[in-house]
Amino acid sequence: MTPLRIRRPGRLAAEAVTLLVAAAVAFPLYWMVLSAFKPAGEIQSTDPRPWTLSPSLDSFRRVFEQQEFGRYFLNSLIVAGTVVLASALIAFLAATAVTRFRFKFRTTLLIMFLVAQMVPVEALTIPLFFLMRDAGQLNTLGSLILPHIAFSLPFAIWMLRGFVKAVPEALEEQAQVDGASRTRFLWQILFPLVFPGLVATSVFSFISTWNDFLFAKSFIISDTSQSTLPMALLVFFKPDENDWGGIMAGSTVMTVPVLVFFVLVQRRLVSGLGGAVKD
């Protein structure tokens, strides 16, 4: 498949470099998982070894016992799941509107969706904090869900546009001839066709929501039962002595779901991105 047929030694060298880079890129994740399984004595050792002969679950146990990590995990899952579902549906409708219709202000809207992507979400923490306070939403998962739906939308709409555009208009005309209503066409024909794009888009909303640290830190101020994973992780940072075993075990618990999600949709993600970028 390589477009360039180059001399063999050159290719072997390139392949060796590629494997080395791959190992280097994977190393931090390897070290994270390894450290999570190391017994305490080996973590707090000034002679760190890249393996362990006595793996232990102590760090994981500590994480789940000291902290209500299970609960935080569930909270993170609820927040990310709701955001993914809601933003996918809303973005699908909006993307259909801006690609399948010609109407006044269409281009203006598209540009506004693009501009909205650039808004530094972090800067909006201050007004959102007051908005959530006035709406009585502080310390609830809703205070995390609502803003994240809003922040996932512009990118999701922009990206889905390419997928909706790719569905031939003849299909829509055919559906009309066959007597399908617009609603029926939307949900029974267009939706399944655009589904791969929705998955690719969802990865981005899932990750940005799952990773969110600033809103969780700012809006969940006193009720720790509503905390999400990032906040729970920071508890293991102590001014004098960081509990590295706990931090690494917590990080592992937080990273694995995203990795699984990524691997599952990896193929669709790469092709989807290509489509969105080239479009």
Partner 1 sequence: MTTQLIEKRPDATAPPAPRPPRRGGPRGHRPWTPWLYLLPALVVLGGLLVYPVYQLGLISFLEYTQAQVSGGEPTSFKGFGNYTTLFADPQFWQVLLATVLFAAACVVTTLAVGCALAVLLTRVRALPRFALMVAALGAWATPAITGSTVWVFLFDADFGPVNKLLGLGDFSWTYGKYSAFALVLFEVVWCSFPFVMVTVYAGIKAIPSEVLEAAALDGASQWRIWRSVMAPMLRPILVVVTIQSIIWDFKLFTQIYVMTNGGGIAGQNLVLNVYAYQKAFASSQYSLGSAIGVVMLLILLAVTLIYLRLLRRQGEEL
* CB nearer partner 1, residue 90 or residue 195: 90
* CB nearer partner 1, residue 68 or residue 172: 172
* CB nearer partner 1, residue 15 or residue 223: 15
Q: Name the residue among 139, 129, 121 with its Cα closest to residue 228.
A: 139
Residue 61 C-beta: closest distance to partner 1, Å? 19
Residue 225 C-beta: closest distance to partner 1, Å? 20
Residue 257 C-beta: closest distance to partner 1, Å? 10
Q: Name the residue among 202, 228, 234 with its Cα closest to residue 215.
A: 228
Helix (H) or strand (E) holding 10: helix 8-37
Helix (H) or strand (E) holding 261: helix 244-278
Residue 216 C-beta: closest distance to partner 1, Å? 10
Tokens of 160: 């889905």
DSSP 8-state class, residue 146 = H
* CB nearer partner 1, residue 226 or residue 228: 228
Residue entry with tokens 């791959």: 22
Residue 119 C-beta: closest distance to partner 1, Å? 7
The rounded distance, in Å, linking the Cα atoms of 98 and 96 is 6
The rounded distance, in Å, linking the Cα atoms of 144 and 213 is 10
Q: Name the residue among 164, 230, 215 with its Cα closest to residue 191.
A: 164
The rounded distance, in Å, linking the Cα atoms of 88 and 105 is 23
DSSP 8-state class, residue 186 = I
Q: Note the Cα 96 to chain centre separation in Å.
A: 23
* CB nearer partner 1, residue 57 or residue 270: 270
Contact at 8 Å (CB) between 157 and 98?
A: yes
Residue 68 C-beta: closest distance to partner 1, Å? 18
* CB nearer partner 1, residue 53 or residue 118: 118
